[in-house]
Amino acid sequence: MSNITIYHNPNCGTSRNVLALIRNSGEEPTVIEYLKTPPTRETLVKLLADVGLSAREVLREKGTPYAELGLANPKWTDDQLLDAIGQHPILMNRPIVVTPLGTKLCRPSETVLDILPNPQRGAFNKEDGEAVVDAKGQRV
């Protein structure tokens, strides 16, 4: 079993790039498709604490019910925002990666390199062709 977990949305390019970077380091992470298997409130609270972000800071606006729920309004408490994420997991920005070196919301995708225990095993380009890692496994 892997010591790396990714809260993943396969429909998200950033999330797919992060998963590919993890695999490029020789690891096969535990993949949690959080839209199918949302984290419990307790898990979400721990993830946010480990990442060092508030519920508001992890909210995703694009492609979510953020606007129609009026979540931009500062009246919402963190508890209320956690409730909203619990009801609509798509509101959680992604991907969140947990490794022995830390927990991080990996946007942009190459920020995952900061918390991967193993180096990259070769060159890596994002889906859009942007080079992230060179043939020697070094960050570009």
State the catalytic residues. Answer: 12
Whole-number Å distance between alpha carbons of 33 and 27:
18
Whole-number Å distance between alpha carbons of 37 and 89:
9
- As to burial, measured by CB atoms within 10 angstroms (0-12 exposed, 13-18 middle, 19+ buried), residue 87 is exposed
Distance of CA 64 to the CA centre of its chain: 16
Whole-number Å distance between alpha carbons of 86 and 58:
13
Whole-number Å distance between alpha carbons of 91 and 96:
13
